[in-house]
């Protein structure tokens, strides 16, 4: 397994650094997200091949990562083509050194998040499917549906000319201010849960995958940035103040 992990790290870094070279030369971030999601798919399939086995759990796990990567990657690519730019890179795209850091951090995100799947794909030992697998895959399906529906609801909302300058608060967005991120966390939590059925000893440390996704979205690059932008734009509006006061930040439960 160690050899497969090393090769995954090498491929991951290679893809991101090649992406950085092109992105830096063109001064664009338009293929940043699709390169990231594409690397997830690539490493999932390569790790299964390098593992030398093709158990049902490995096939399902790889298939779910592929479905996630295709949907999210194409959605984000379509969005940036429509918007023209990503505000995260406003002061970055013209600085090759800083841009390099962003691409390298994407490599770290890919590897840590995908680690449970790489572990399960490189295991020679198999176990019969059990309740943990089905629960994990059920969590993934729920998260996938939540994220896809939330993304589409916001896309449709922003596409309507009548909603220019307004914020979305219907559909799933009435129950959570960031339902797409909730779906993302559920998906990677479910994939860890299923993968854990064949883990041993230190491999359980790969629980860092869903914890990392949660921490990244909740405290670093997701919710804090969007909340700050939203407060700057609508913070003085009574309706937005009511929405923030009555709608949970992430988990659709009072107090969360």
Domain ranges of the chain: 1-126, 128-256
Query: What's phi and psi for 166, nearest 5 deg?
Result: -110, 165
From 55, 32, 207, select the one nearest 125 (Cα to Cα): 55
Q: Can you give the C-alpha Rg of the chain in angstroms?
A: 19
Could you give phi then psi for residue 23, rounded to 5 degrees?
-65, -40
- The Cα–Cα gap between 190 and 197 comes to 12
Query: Which 8-state DSSP code applies to residue 55?
Result: -
Determine contact, residues 218/250, Cβ cutoff 8 Å. yes
Rounded to whole angstroms, the Cα distance separating 146 from 123 reads 31
Task: Tell me the pLDDT tens digit for each residue of 198-227.
Answer: 999 999 999 999 999 999 999 998 899 999
Helix H segments across 27-95?
32-51, 56-83
pLDDT band for position 256 (cuts 50, 70, 90): low
Q: What is the pLDDT at residue 1?
A: 61
Question: Residue 27 carries which DSSP code?
Answer: T
Output the six-digit token pair for 147: 């994220």
Residue range 79-110, pLDDT digits in tens: 999 888 777 787 788 889 999 999 999 999 99
Alpha helices in 88-178 (DSSP H): 96-121, 131-159
């Amino acid at each position: 397994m160690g050899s497969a992990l090393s090769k995954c790290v090498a491929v991951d870094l290679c893809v991101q650094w090649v992406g950085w070279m092109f992105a830096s030369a063109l001064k664009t971030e338009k293929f940043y997200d699709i390169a990231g999601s594409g690397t997830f798919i690539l490493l999932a399939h390569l790790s299964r091949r390098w593992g030398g086995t093709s158990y049902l759990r490995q096939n399902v796990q790889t298939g779910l990562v592929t479905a996630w990567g295709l949907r999210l990657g194409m959605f984000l690519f379509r969005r940036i083509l429509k918007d023209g730019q990503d505000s995260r890179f406003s002061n970055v795209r013209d600085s090759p050194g800083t841009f390099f850091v962003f691409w390298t951090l994407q490599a770290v995100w890919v590897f840590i998040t995908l680690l449970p799947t790489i572990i399960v794909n490189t295991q020679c030992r198999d176990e019969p499917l059990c309740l943990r697998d089905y629960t994990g895959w059920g969590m993934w399906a729920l998260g996938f549906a939540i994220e896809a529906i939330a993304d589409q609801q916001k896309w449709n909302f922003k596409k309507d000319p009548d909603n220019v300058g307004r914020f979305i608060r219907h559909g799933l967005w009435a129950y959570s201010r960031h339902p797409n991120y909730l779906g993302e966390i559920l998906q990677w939590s479910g994939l860890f849960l299923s993968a854990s059925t064949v883990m041993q000893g230190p491999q359980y440390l790969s629980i860092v995958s869903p914890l990392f996704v949660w921490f990244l979205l909740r405290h670093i690059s997701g919710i804090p940035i969007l909340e700050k932008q939203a407060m700057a734009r609508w913070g003085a509006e009574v309706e937005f103040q009511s929405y923030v006061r009555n709608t949970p930040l992430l988990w659709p439960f009072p107090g969360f």
